[in-house]
Chains A and B, each alone.
With several copies, the nearest count.
Chain A
Amino acid sequence: MIDIRKLKELVRLMVENDLTELDIRDEQETVTVKRPGLHVAPQVVAAPMMAAAPVAHAAPAAAAAPAAAPAAAKEVLPAIESPMVGTFYATPGPDKAPFVSVGSKVGPDTTVCLIEAMKIFNEIKAETSGTVEEVLVKSGQPVEFGQPLYRIRPS
């Protein structure tokens, strides 16, 4: 029932706009969207399509209602981003263990996943050193260029 592409779009929407919470219900049309009053991720490319004047992104806000943004204080870690479009695989094979998971230490040459495009499975390297703090994409899920795959706490 849940459309994976729609979900992906929602996630992208959240990531790009640095939303902290998104709550959609239906029948009664409920929408709740939250974003931090305090901006910690100036690297986020944000600016949704059609944005008018450059949105002063990381600008105001220091004093912003913290109550409204429960996750606002959460530190945003650097991500390993997808260098290509394709399907993400966390494991080297169907019944294998994932390349990395939360807590794994990675170095620049650590393979973190496979991305399949045009029937070819491409090994993706971490290209950074640190510890995996979060896995952002599920195995088998499509990813686009530049999409964050893992959050890494640099070592």
Chain B
Amino acid sequence: MFKRILIANRGEIALRVIRAAKALGIETVCVYSQADKDGPWLEHADQAVCIGPGPSPQSYLRIDRIIAAAEVSHADAIHPGYGFLSENAHFAEVCRDSGFEFIGPSPEAMALLGDKVSCKKMARKVGTPVFPGTEDAIEDIDEAVKVAAEIGYPVIVKATAGGGGRGMRVARDEAQLRAGIESARQEATAAFGNGAVYIEKFLENARHFEVQTIGDKHGNAVHLFERDCSSQRRHQKLIEEAPSPGVDPEKRKKVCESAAALIASAKYSGAATVEFLMDAKQNFYMLEVNTRVQVEHPVTEMITGIDIVREQIMVASGKPLSVKQADIKVNGHAIECRINAEDPDRGFMPQAGLIETFVPPGGLGVRLDSHARAGYRIPPNYDSMIGKLIVHGPTRDIAIARMKVALDEFKIGPVKTTIPLHRKLMDNPDFNKATFDIHYVERLLKAEEAAKAAKAAAAPAMAKAGA
């Protein structure tokens, strides 16, 4: 087992790794930037090494400095956390070449699954359901009709050069497709000077479904079931839960097993997440593989009882996985709310600055992963997540009820956070009945904006009427 792990990250995930390492009796070294010199997580590390100024390119993304810090601190392994260098195969390679175990996959496995093309190829081979779209430009309409028939309607026609919703047409049958290609081409030519279009499967009411997997260096790979992360805003996950509510057990088993097969075929060691979109008929389409631990890993830990970061460390050290697939069971339901220092009332503007009040919730089924506390000054340099509130309960309804209680208890000030938004979403009927898709939060926010605007517009009129 390792004697000392260097953590090439910050904030809550640095603290998460410290906790897992300490429980294994392993020492920790944290690298930190000058902007993080007061980071509360550094207190819990055995050692802290400053590697540069606040901006990430000069500190947390500086491979040379991180390796130098590992050298001077005599670490024997490096945990990359998530973000920063965690999916950088070159970094994994430098770690290995410098004699430090990278707590994650081999550079080869990372490159293989991290690249969308090679990953999709591998997925097809092992039977992981992939997205049937093609990114090749369509030469003529008849070819498009053929491709669409293969993919199955509805499809979406997209301009190769497109963006911002322009040059896009949804087609539900051949006639719509023919018309759509024509108009999309015209629009694209006008807008981008390039009329090339391609076709993709169009998913209506898709949900985000992702499978947690983990492999070791002995060829074992298991899945820890799935998470639903449909509560998103601008492709940023807000709420994650496990298991994914209302999924057919047989379909779920099949897709989860195909995800484990995918990482096994890549001789992948460490934690990986295979992300899918799931349509209303519960068909799955692989999006990509994340070759690292994810922000939302705690919900999977809650329902399986498996410490994913501990497992990452163990398998990196060469130990076999501590669990066999047959022993991994789902126990209850877990939900995570990302607590971001953002102001939901002002376009989710990030809030740097001093946290004066920080009263965390507690009690049965409540877990908080946070590096924040009263007196912590959030630096402006990094992402706005200051913690993750996770609840667990025997059923989804009880988990939601506990999350409401916990959110009500959680007091942070004066910085604004996403707590009120989460509290609102917990009461949202779509969330409650899991009749959601990946766009429901944005629809909700848009509707609120519109209602607000309407009210503001009406107010002077009413004032006038009243006067």
Contact = CB atoms under 8 A, between A and B. Distances in A.
Interface string B149-188: 0000000000000000000000000000000000000000
A118 B43 CA distance: 27
B64 A49 contact: no
A124 interface: no
B93 to A, nearest CB: 13
B267 to A, nearest CB: 28
B52 interface: yes
Contact of B49 (A53, A54, A57): A57
B73 A49 contact: no
B83 to A, nearest CB: 20
A85 B65 contact: yes
Interface stretch (B124-132, B370-378, B434-442): B370-378
B51 A55 contact: no
Interface in B1-58: 29-31, 34, 37-40, 42-43, 45-53
B411 interface: yes
Nearest to A115: B68
Question: How big is the A interface, by class?
Answer: 20 to 34
Contacts of A8: 43
Interface string B350-369: 00001111110000000000
Interface stretch (A93-101, A128-136, A138-146): A138-146
A118 B42 CA distance: 24
B452 to A, nearest CB: 7
A142 B31 CA distance: 14
B65 A45 contact: no
Given A50-B357, A118-B67, A55 B72 contact: no
A147 B64 CA distance: 17
Contact of A144 (B38, B51, B355, B358): B51
Interface residues of B, number: 46
Nearest to A58: B49
B348 to A, nearest CB: 16
B40 A50 contact: yes
Contacts of B39: 49
B51 A49 contact: no
Which of A28, A29, A54, A144 has its CB near the most chain B CB atoms (within 10 A)? A144
Interface string A45-89: 101111111111110000000000000000000000000111100
A50 B411 contact: yes
Contacts of B48: 55-58
5 interchain residue pairs of minimum CB distance: A49-B375, A52-B375, A142-B72, A117-B68, A47-B375
A145 B50 contact: yes
Contact of A118 (B29, B52, B98): B98
Contact of B50 (A47, A49, A144): A144
Contacts of A27: 452, 455-456, 459
A50 B354 contact: no
Contacts of A55: 30, 42-43, 45-48
B302 interface: no
Nearest to B37: A45
A52 B59 CA distance: 22
A44 B43 CA distance: 19
A13 B354 CA distance: 16
A54 B356 CA distance: 11
Contact of B34 (A5, A85, A143, A146): A146
Nearest to A28: B456
B64 A50 contact: no
Interface in A6-65: 8-9, 27-29, 45, 47-58
Given A49-B43, A57-B47, A86 B72 contact: yes
B69 interface: yes
A50 B375 contact: yes
B430 interface: no
Contacts of B47: 5, 9, 55-58
A55 B295 CA distance: 26
Given A5-B47, A55-B45, A145-B34, 9 more contacts: A48-B374, A49-B375, A49-B376, A50-B43, A57-B48, A58-B73, A117-B71, A144-B49, A145-B59
Interface string B243-281: 000000000000000000000000000000000000000
B68 A49 contact: no
Nearest to B48: A55
A22 B443 CA distance: 34
Given A45-B37, A52-B38, A55-B42, A84 B49 contact: no
A49 B452 CA distance: 34
A5 B73 contact: yes
Contacts of B50: 57-58, 85, 144-147
A147 B34 CA distance: 11
